[in-house]
Amino acid sequence: MPKRQDIKKILLIGSGPIIIGQACEFDYSGSQAARALRDEGYEVVLVNSNPATIMTDPVTADKIYLQALTPASIKEIVEIERPDAVLPTMGGQTALNLANELHQKGYWEKMGVEVIGVDIDAINITEDRQQFRDLMEKIGVDQARSRVAKSLLEAKEITQELGGLPVVIRPSFTLGGSGGGIVWTPEEFDKKVMRGLELSPVHEVLMEECLVGWKEFELELLRDANDNVIIICTIENVDPMGVHTGDSLTVAPSQTLTDKQFQIMRDAAIRMMRSIGTFAGGCNVQFALEPATGRMIAIEINPRVSRSSALASKATGYPIAKVAARLAVGYTLDELPNEVTGTTSACFEPSIDYVVTKIPRFNFEKFEGVDEELSTQMKAVGEVMAIGRTFNESLQKAWQSLENGYAGLGADREESSRLEIRNRLRKSYWDRTLQIRNAFRMGASVEEVADVSRVDPWFLYQIQDIVAIEDRLSGLALSQIDKDLMRLVKRNGFSDVQIAWLVADDVTEDEVRAHRLALGLKPSFMLVDTCAGEFPAQTPYFYSSYETHSESPVSDREKILILGSGPNRIGQGIEFDYSCVHGVLAAKELGYEAIMVNCNPETVSTDFDVADKLYFEPVFWERVLDIIEHEKPKGVIVQLGGQTALKLAARFAGSGVEIIGTSYANMDLAEDRGQFSDLLKELDIPYPPYGRARTPREAIETAEEIGYPLLVRPSYVLGGQGMRIAINKEEVEKYVGQIWKLLPNNVILLDLFLENGIELDVDAICDGEDVWVAGIMQHIEPAGVHSGDSTAVVPPYSLSEAVQEKVRTYVRQIALRMNVVGLVNVQMVVKGEDVYVIEANPRASRTVPFLAKAMGIPISNIATKVMLGRRLAEFRDAGLLESKLTGYAVKEPVFSWDKFPEVRKELGPEMKSTGEAIAFIDDFDDEAFKKPFEMRNLYLSR
Amino acid sequence: MTQQYQQTQQHQQNQHNPSSQSSQTPRPCKLALEDGLVVVGEAVGYHGETGGELCFNTSMTGYQEIFTDPSYHGQIMMMTYPHIGNYGTADIDMEADEPMVAGVVVRAFSRRYSNAMADESLEDFMTRHRLVGISGVDTRALVLHIREKGVMNAVISSVDLDDDSLIEKARKWPSMEGLELASRVTTKEAYAWSEGNGPRIAVYDYGVKRNILRSFEARGCAVQVFPAGTDLAVVKTWSPDGIFFSNGPGDPRSMPDDIEMVRAAMTLGVPLFGICLGHQLMSLAAGLDVYKMYVGHRGANHPVQNIRTGAVEVSTQNHGFAVSADSLKEGVAELTHVNLNDRTVEGLRYHAFDGFSVQYHPEASPGPHDSQYLFDDFITAMSRKSTSA
């Protein structure tokens, strides 16, 4: 069936602010869907409250509503736009729930809007445990034994029936599994069940047979209107059942299923998808398998694109969201080409000839008192994906991607004690694979580790093989490693840093690299082609491995490499990916070949349609340098990817790679408190008294000198990591101790805290001679609350014109004095008519996308072009720097507190929000302003 | 396995502990292609020497079914998925009594396996069956090489490591083109596979996969398997309701006697069904042309469209020869199934007699179960015949 002609205009619902369990993967799928639909000639109307998204950019949709995702606002938009159809499957559970709510009220029908991409009547089946159970029984798919409880008493009875504890509780209709978990002991039973009953909007919890220790699998499916179903990807969880799939280390394809087992699973998945109504689109199905018996049961089905489908798209090269959108408007799979090969059909099941590993990224250090144990409720804030030819290689590359200081699966520091390793393995923690490696290092057997961790032995064998290679290296001097051994080591994913740590002699990473290159060993770059090499492919999507043949030809065009921002985490989220994507597009517009390096599967930047070339690789020094040596770009853009990219800047500067835009020396100046303060002094710009400390003693002395309250923070971090307000000597001592435990050798910064000041965030672009102050954002919360957690208003709502002028003047002076070429973000505190500069960061900030959306100006795009040599005057003359904002725009931080019930809600200098929303208001009576204003002091803490 | 074809040599076999771990020093092994390319890896399975046409399969699961599929007789099988051996081997995954491929090429061989259903490791299995393999080679580079240069012969050896000698052996290896191989894998004697109350199916065994027989059995059929070349008169005395022509190895154009037999069967008045080689034989008997493909189809993800219903089946494929679409112009058969990737002929229904055939493998094993309805179709055709008779 060709595409439908009776539909002209389609409403696409986004997923709103980033929260745990629903992140930027929906920006990726939403943008893909919007682009696909526009390519087909449909008019796309998009609604999302999250400004830091590519989907809400004019490049993506015809009409964009940056509005709250509520039934009321959807109705408002529908009444203005009169769309013919609504596609609610690209915006996660939020969009699906919204569409469902309006459907229940008969709204879509009343307005003549057709819901496409999902069978809306069937959504309840997938969300309601009992209905789902009944359906599975009907179609002959096995289930975990379970029953719904409406009271604590009932929950107790059911637990008896199931054979006692442990038991799983799952509150009905909650997002990301909120309130769900395993109950191990009678002590926690009442509390957890009651909480589940309270959290569930219908006050029901499902009491379920505990499948802890079973193997878990996920399948990504697509179906068209002809009822053709294909499986795009099979994902196997290394973490056994009991850990939310979003928190699990997963691999693709499945590694331990025989074909017969897999086909049974495939058949069941197809039956399940066909059982939830007739619709064309994407779907995700989860299964558990009892290792000893092979008994397979269905866990759940989601009739929409998901976090896993984003992962599956990146893992296989198959653009699930794009195809799902086309299927929703009537195409059938056989009518669509496989865009990766260009010559074959989209109606097939990708075959891959590499292994993909995903590791979730957590931010537990942000939440004091948090329970780090993983359970059925998701806690991860982001994830990384790595591609290798073997599991070992991809596992180590994934660890290199995490950006939490690891150079691979351990082998870069001393192991913790035997006891600690055992304790870490007994329960589910994020670093399970590392602890498995440590256990093998200590001589544990596969049987022991399997018994404690319940991880499938096949994965343990691979990790044991990694450890065996470590053992071989530890007895050797670097010079004794010959080519064959080096190839084996690199093929197992070891970084040069790990090799340097492992070998017997005292060598550096650079020396290992030099030795390796002298042996003639460089990585080769392979194509992600959906078909395991069976057909030639066109898509410029690459990964590295130590193979014999490179498939990434280097063009003779001038190239710009853009470093991505790695895994999402608090303080460095989707905002930076937004800027990276615009950086790529801007570089392309100027005629450069834009090359992207990133390892975050949730993002738009790793959509192989975006850059001229995508390297899905860790943003890790060795891997980036390998790509640079292969591509020889003109330069590297580091100021868009947040702290990740910035951290590498020093090494670029040291190795002769050109940094595009602000030079390394000037970027470093901003981080060097002493130099920066000298600069401010020279410019006659006020700043709070400050000091630096390298030792606890120095810290106390400096603190006493400056006076209290005092801001204590490490240098070179983002999102206020480790930042605290200290009111006395003891607290300073405590906080610096905490910082050095986490970041040894860090130079700690101490600033006088300006109490009751008004905090400002300013973003500006400088071309070296001219400065454009893009916007001044005034915080509603008092200084002391991290800017990322503050409600910010643009333009300022209570600053005099004189103060604002002073702000602009300071920003201009600083930008010019720092020789900024590109973006700069300045944070200031206003007390009375005095303006103090707290810090200046010559890079894309978290607020850039918000400001861009608020004013309707493509700030990142302009900034990138300025970095590449364009003048601000060109843009000013073309009228591109004029704000379209009438009234005010408010940036509201969004938190995921419900995921950490044991953590006290408090705000301070360390950022805790996971996402943000934008609201446009005309006056201060608006709830978007009034509510945060009234509550501004409520949660301030240290 | 037939010794004249599979020239394996026993050599320094580690009898006691063939599956010992990676600490064991790997034994060097080489793979040489007839065009002069030589790659080095480590020996897995049986230590010896073997040769055959080097082809690749893109299935990510089902290595044991592939290695024991008689259609692969005499071919060196390279798996594109890197990790092979992960879940060991099990008796239920045999498609024949023993491995049929001449050799195995993989990127990362798993000597240790994990699956409660398994009987033994792939290493032990290969050693026991004297199947030679090589691991640790860049299979992707080899796949691209074949994709570009076309399929070619190759030799794997861990007993002769001299490049020139190996290349010479690869060059001298008999080409697949024009080779009749079915007689080497067919059953020696006719046998009953299953007794059932359903239709009686006579199977011409050119190297039939067990799962085809199981698929008929599961539908209640009485299945009698006859050696290739069995006189049709003998088959007739068994009074079949339908005749099935099986899959198998080799070039169908070099099987004139078998083609003649199929042609005779067309006049019997019972429904005919053919899979893979059987499909090609039926096509040739009906007067269509068959050609050798540049690179064959071997995998479990090929889209096949059923032209009558429009539905697409994800199919298991394993063929290096195909029926020429051009020859269909003569009007002897209706195209019922087509490959969506390259539009090659996947299924035919014949005009002159009651019969249909498919190029791909509805019995799967390994692969998706999307096309099992074809077995039902055959049974329906036979039932129709018996009720009308």
Judged by CB atoms closer than 8 Å, whether chains meet at B140 and A226 is answered as no
Closest-CA distance, A283 to chain B, in angstroms, reads 18
User: For position B13, what pLDDT does the model report?
Assistant: 35
Query: Which B residues, 350 through 369, put their C-beta within 8 Å of a C-beta on chain A?
Result: 364-369
Residue type, A879: G
User: For position B3, what pLDDT does the model report?
Assistant: 37
Across the range A723-740, mean pLDDT stands at 89
CB-hemisphere CA count at 13 Å for B242?
Answer: 31
Mutation target among B33, B69, B109, B115 for the A interface, most CBs of A within 10 A: B115
Active site residues of B: 276, 361, 363
| β-strand pairing of B83-84 with B49-57 | unpaired
Instruction: Please tell me which of the candidates B60, B312, B366 has its beta carbon nearest to residue A228.
Output: B312
Q: Which helix (H) or strand (E) holds A664?
A: helix A664-671
pLDDT in tens, A806-854: 999 999 999 999 999 999 999 999 999 999 999 999 999 999 999 999 9
Q: What Å distances lie between residue A142 and A145, A157, A206, B331, CA to CA? A: 9, 23, 17, 49
Closest-CA distance, B304 to chain A, in angstroms, reads 9
Cα–Cα distance measured from residue A208 to residue A143, given in angstroms and rounded to the nearest whole number: 10
Instruction: Please tell me which of the candidates A333, A351, A547 has its beta carbon nearest to residue B141.
Output: A547
Instruction: Please tell me which of the candidates A260, A333, A348 has its beta carbon nearest to residue B301.
Output: A348
User: For position A176, what pLDDT does the model report?
Assistant: 63
Options 3.40.50.720, 3.40.430.10, 3.50.30.20, 1.10.1530.10; which CATH number does B28-172 get?
A: 3.50.30.20
User: For position A941, what pLDDT does the model report?
Assistant: 62
Which residues in chain A are closer than 8 Å to B60, comparing Cβ atoms? 253-254, 351-352
Instruction: Please tell me which of the candidates A228, A343, A549 has its beta carbon nearest to residue B138.
Output: A549
- Phi, psi torsion values for A469, nearest 5 degrees: -70, -40
Which residues in chain B are closer than 8 Å to A353, comparing Cβ atoms? 58, 80-82, 107, 139-140, 143
Across the range A420-444, mean pLDDT stands at 95
Judged by CB atoms closer than 8 Å, whether chains meet at B108 and A389 is answered as yes
pLDDT in tens, A216-227: 999 999 999 999
Which residues in chain A are closer than 8 Å to B295, comparing Cβ atoms? 534
Quick check: B304 and B338 in contact, CB under 8 A? yes
Fold annotation for B182-388: Rossmann fold (3.40.50)
Would an 8 Å CB–CB cutoff place B62 in contact with chain A?
yes
Residue whose tokens read 């596979």: B193
Judged by CB atoms closer than 8 Å, whether chains meet at A458 and B86 is answered as yes
Instruction: Please tell me which of the candidates B80, B87, B92 has its beta carbon nearest to residue A351.
Output: B80
User: For position B24, what pLDDT does the model report?
Assistant: 59
- Cβ neighbour number for residue A477 with a 10 Å cutoff: 11
Judged by CB atoms closer than 8 Å, whether chains meet at A347 and B62 is answered as no
Instruction: Please tell me which of the candidates B21, B115, B367 has its beta carbon nearest to residue A258.
Output: B115
Judged by CB atoms closer than 8 Å, whether chains meet at B311 and A547 is answered as no
Cα–Cα distance measured from residue B385 to residue B382, given in angstroms and rounded to the nearest whole number: 5
Quick check: A319 and A29 in contact, CB under 8 A? no
Judged by CB atoms closer than 8 Å, whether chains meet at B80 and A228 is answered as no
Query: Which A residues, 454 through 493, put their C-beta within 8 Å of a C-beta on chain B?
Result: 456-458, 461, 465, 468
**DSSP string for A594-631:** EEEEE--TTSSTTSTTTSSEEEE--S-HHHHHHHHHHH
Which residues in chain A are closer than 8 Å to B320, comparing Cβ atoms? none
pTM value is: 0.93
Which residues in chain B are closer than 8 Å to A535, comparing Cβ atoms? 147, 341
The structural domains of chain A, ordered by start, are 9-116 (3.40.50.20), 145-209 (3.30.1490.20), 215-350 (3.30.470.20), 359-521 (1.10.1030.10), 525-660 (3.40.50.20), 689-752 (3.30.1490.20), 758-934 (3.30.470.20)
Would an 8 Å CB–CB cutoff place A337 in contact with chain B?
no
Please name the residue of chain B whose CA is at the shortest distance from the CA of residue A388.
Answer: B82
Please name the residue of chain A whose CA is at the shortest distance from the CA of residue B60.
Answer: A351
Coil, strand or helix: which one is A868? Answer: coil
- Closest-CA residue to A356 (of A489, A525, A543): A543
Contacts (Cβ under 8 Å, ≥6 apart) of A814:
A679, A680, A683, A685, A824, A826, A837, A840
Closest-CA distance, B136 to chain A, in angstroms, reads 9
Q: How confident is the model at residue A392 (pLDDT cuts 50, 70, 90)?
A: very high
Would an 8 Å CB–CB cutoff place B25 in contact with chain A?
no
Judged by CB atoms closer than 8 Å, whether chains meet at B144 and A533 is answered as yes
State both tokens at A711: 């801001």
Would an 8 Å CB–CB cutoff place B143 in contact with chain A?
yes
Judged by CB atoms closer than 8 Å, whether chains meet at B93 and A551 is answered as no
User: For position B387, what pLDDT does the model report?
Assistant: 66
User: Helices (DSSP H) in A432-573: which residue ranges?
Assistant: 432-441, 446-453, 457-474, 483-491, 496-502, 509-518
Please name the residue of chain B whose CA is at the shortest distance from the CA of residue A351.
Answer: B58
pLDDT in tens, A312-337: 999 999 999 999 999 999 999 999 99
Which residues in chain A are closer than 8 Å to B90, comparing Cβ atoms? 258
User: For position A278, what pLDDT does the model report?
Assistant: 85
Judged by CB atoms closer than 8 Å, whether chains meet at A266 and B369 is answered as yes
The C-alpha angle with vertex A179 and arms to A307 and A120, in degrees rounded to 5, equals 50
Judged by CB atoms closer than 8 Å, whether chains meet at B114 and A456 is answered as yes
User: Helices (DSSP H) in B70-220: which residue ranges?
Assistant: 122-128, 139-149, 163-172, 182-185, 210-218
Cα–Cα distance measured from residue A609 to residue A353, given in angstroms and rounded to the nearest whole number: 21
ipTM exceeds 0.95, yes or no: no
Q: What is the pLDDT along chain B (389 residues), one digit of tens a residue?
A: 333 333 333 333 333 333 334 445 789 999 999 999 999 999 999 999 999 999 999 999 999 999 999 999 999 999 999 999 999 999 999 999 999 999 999 999 999 999 998 999 999 999 999 999 999 999 999 999 999 998 899 999 999 999 999 999 999 999 878 889 999 999 999 999 999 899 999 999 999 999 999 999 999 999 999 999 999 999 999 999 999 999 999 999 999 999 999 999 999 999 999 999 999 999 999 999 999 998 899 999 999 999 999 999 999 999 999 999 999 987 899 999 999 999 999 999 999 999 999 999 999 999 999 999 999 999 999 998 776 55
Instruction: Please tell me which of the candidates A260, A390, A526 has its beta carbon nearest to residue B140.
Output: A526
Judged by CB atoms closer than 8 Å, whether chains meet at B115 and A256 is answered as yes
Higher-confidence residue: A152 or A722?
A: A152
Q: Which helix (H) or strand (E) holds B366?
A: none
pLDDT at A750 over 60: yes
Closest-CA distance, B54 to chain A, in angstroms, reads 14
Instruction: Please tell me which of the candidates A294, A347, A352 has its beta carbon nearest to residue B117.
Output: A294
User: For position A928, what pLDDT does the model report?
Assistant: 87
Quick check: A613 and A637 in contact, CB under 8 A? no
Least confident interval from A109-118, A716-725, B146-155: A716-725
pLDDT in tens, A776-786: 999 999 888 88
Higher-confidence residue: A939 or A299?
A: A299
Domains B28-172 and B182-388 share a fold: no
User: How do the domains of chain B map onto residue ranges?
Assistant: 28-172, 182-388
pLDDT at A465 over 80: yes
State percent of chain A over pLDDT 70. Answer: 99
Closest-CA distance, A550 to chain B, in angstroms, reads 9
User: Helices (DSSP H) in A139-258: which residue ranges?
Assistant: 152-161, 186-199
| β-strand pairing of B272-275 with B242-245 | parallel
Which residues in chain A are closer than 8 Å to B112, comparing Cβ atoms? 457-458, 461
State both tokens at A603: 């993002």
Query: Which A residues, 534 through 553, put their C-beta within 8 Å of a C-beta on chain B?
Result: 534-536, 547-549, 551
Mutation target among A219, A251, A258 for the B interface, most CBs of B within 10 A: A258
Instruction: Please tell me which of the candidates B21, B61, B312 has its beta carbon nearest to residue A257.
Output: B61
State percent of chain A over pLDDT 90. Answer: 77
Query: Which A residues, 221 through 260, put their C-beta within 8 Å of a C-beta on chain B?
Result: 226-228, 230-231, 253-260
Closest-CA distance, B122 to chain A, in angstroms, reads 13
Judged by CB atoms closer than 8 Å, whether chains meet at B144 and A294 is answered as no
Q: Which residues pair with B275 in a beta bridge?
A: B358
User: For position B388, what pLDDT does the model report?
Assistant: 59
Which residues in chain B are closer than 8 Å to A351, comparing Cβ atoms? 58-60, 80-81, 299-301
Mutation target among B56, B78, B87, B110 for the A interface, most CBs of A within 10 A: B87
